[in-house]
Amino acid sequence: MRAVDIIRAKRDGEVLSSEAIGAFIAGVLDGSWADYQTSALLMAIVLRGMTPGETAALTDAMLRTGRRVDLSGLAGVKVGKHSTGGVGDKVSVVLAPLVAACGVIMPKMSGRGLGHTGGTLDKLESIPGFRIGLSVDEFLAVLGSVGCALIGQTADIAPADKVLYGLRDVTATIESVPLISASIMSKKLAEGSSALVLDVKCGRGAFMKTLPEALTLARSLAAIGQAHGVPTEAVVTSMDAPLGRAVGNAVEIRECVETLAGQGPPDLLEVVEAVGVRVLRLAGRAADDAAALAQLRAAITSGAGRRKLRDMVAAQGGDVAVIDDPSRLPSAPFVRTLEAGDDGVVSAIDAELVGRAAVLLGAGRERKGDPVDHAAGIILRTRVGDTVRRGQPLLDLHGADETKMAAAREVATRAVRLGGEATVAPLVRAFVSPAGDVREP
């Protein structure tokens, strides 16, 4: 099957056969499809969509390109977690140690930044020495001793996704239900978890801008999990404004440590708890939601969650001194404060623009393979709904050079809107069951 015929078929809105989808993924992996052909098909999929059958075939083809981790040697239910991507989304770094402290094993292969959204791996690598590139045997050993491990996709896990993910990041082909579904589920099914909880982000800073789009994605993800016998739930959460106060890499790790010490921002804690309750329920560790919530809160107040993070960092080669004292994390040479130009109410903090400003500072990538600046980032000094006075600090930009700071400042200035109606959507928008049923919080 020629690449050009497959691209043309999707361009013209045809349904691709499993053979055509298999040929595409094989071509991506063996290099017989050039990047421009792969990118052309990705764009055709973004514009024309895929049926649930095509999405399932794409997921299977991507899953089959690699191995599946066998977690059966570890006792207990293993629950995976993934986010569809957001700004300031550091939930995994808080959640994995927290649920591990509650007795649930959380194996987690994370990603790098994608578009304007941050990546857990980039954040973790701001911890000096932290190794995200563990072998599967090392991954199993850390899971056995600590109960959670956060690593990058090993070379043999869904390798086709690695190639597609890198291309999608730089060709504006991320926002697509079938592509996101196949990308996430090929990795999550390979990870070997017995159940999954997915945080589907919705709003200005998310790939799915509206609740109906987010629900479509959530149902698509749940259906793929169900078809593979892995119960998959979704929590749809709002991503209009960044989550928490910190956006970047080291600045976000610092916020994670503070959250596990009971001093985290309320919005971050709310999402951690909503997802954590589903994890504990799916793992059968709590009889009802209230009991699950009580366990999660106790793991923060007792310090057990923070100790788990420390154990995981130590087991993955990281410097635990930065967990004990986060001021030792990398810090930027320049900090510039953006101040309010007027009196007024903060009516919006646009997560996508804040994410883009963070990328301009160096916290994310402009091109595939670019290095990231672990110290770069943004600290929000105000929240939606706050009344501010002219000259009051809105946010701090942390960066390595003044040119980057100037570009980021221009974008960040547009991100914070003063005046007008300050509407704050509820953070937790919906729960989607493995069968695809939607429940309001």
**Which residues sit at the interface with ligand URA, rule CB under 6 A?**
84-85, 111, 114, 174, 179-180, 183-184
**Contact (CB, 8 A) for 434 and 226:** yes
Q: How many Å apart are CA 115 and CA 340, to the nearest integer?
A: 28
Residue 165 CB, shortest distance to ligand URA, in Å, is: 6
- Nearer residue to ligand URA within complex by CB, 187 or 285: 187
370 is known as an active-site residue: no
161 is known as an active-site residue: yes
Residue 39 CB, shortest distance to ligand URA, in Å, is: 15
Determine which one of 89, 161, 267, 373 is catalytic.
161
183 is known as an active-site residue: yes
CB atoms within 10 A of CB 402: 11
Residue in the block written with tokens 């119960």: 231
Determine which one of 78, 108, 187, 374 is catalytic.
187
- Nearer residue to ligand URA within complex by CB, 183 or 237: 183
Residue 183 CB, shortest distance to ligand URA, in Å, is: 3
Which of 1, 49, 64 is closest to 27 using CA atoms?
1
Residue number closest to ligand URA, CB atom: 183
Residue 418 CB, shortest distance to ligand URA, in Å, is: 32
- Cα 149 versus chain centre, distance: 15
Q: How many Å apart are CA 131 and CA 84, to the nearest integer?
A: 23
- Nearer residue to ligand URA within complex by CB, 114 or 150: 114
Determine which one of 78, 90, 168, 278 is catalytic.
168
- Cα 128 versus chain centre, distance: 21
- Nearer residue to ligand URA within complex by CB, 85 or 364: 85
- Nearer residue to ligand URA within complex by CB, 155 or 335: 155
Q: How many Å apart are CA 217 and CA 21, to the nearest integer?
A: 20
Residue 155 CB, shortest distance to ligand URA, in Å, is: 16
Question: Quick check: helix, strand or coil at residue 345?
Answer: strand
Residue 159 CB, shortest distance to ligand URA, in Å, is: 14
- Nearer residue to ligand URA within complex by CB, 114 or 218: 114
Contacts of 336 (CB under 8 A, 6+ apart): 396, 397, 399, 405, 409
Q: How many Å apart are CA 38 and CA 13, to the nearest integer?
A: 17
Using alpha carbons only, give the angle 186, 353, 265 rounded to the nearest 5 degrees. Answer: 80
Residue 169 CB, shortest distance to ligand URA, in Å, is: 9
Q: How many Å apart are CA 297 and CA 291, to the nearest integer?
A: 10
- Nearer residue to ligand URA within complex by CB, 166 or 303: 166
- Nearer residue to ligand URA within complex by CB, 120 or 382: 120
* Number of Cα atoms under 13 Å in the Cβ half of residue 156: 7
Sheet holding 344-349, edge to edge: 387-388, 344-349, 416-418
**C-alpha torsion 120→122→123→124, nearest 10:** 80
Which amino acid appears at position 19 of this protein? E
CB atoms within 10 A of CB 384: 19
Determine which one of 110, 126, 183, 186 is catalytic.
183
Residue 428 CB, shortest distance to ligand URA, in Å, is: 19
DSSP string of 29-56? HHT-S-HHHHHHHHHHHHHH---HHHHH
Determine which one of 82, 112, 254, 404 is catalytic.
82
- Output the furthest CA–CA distance in the chain (Å, rounded): 64
Q: Which residues are catalytic?
A: 82, 161, 168, 183, 187
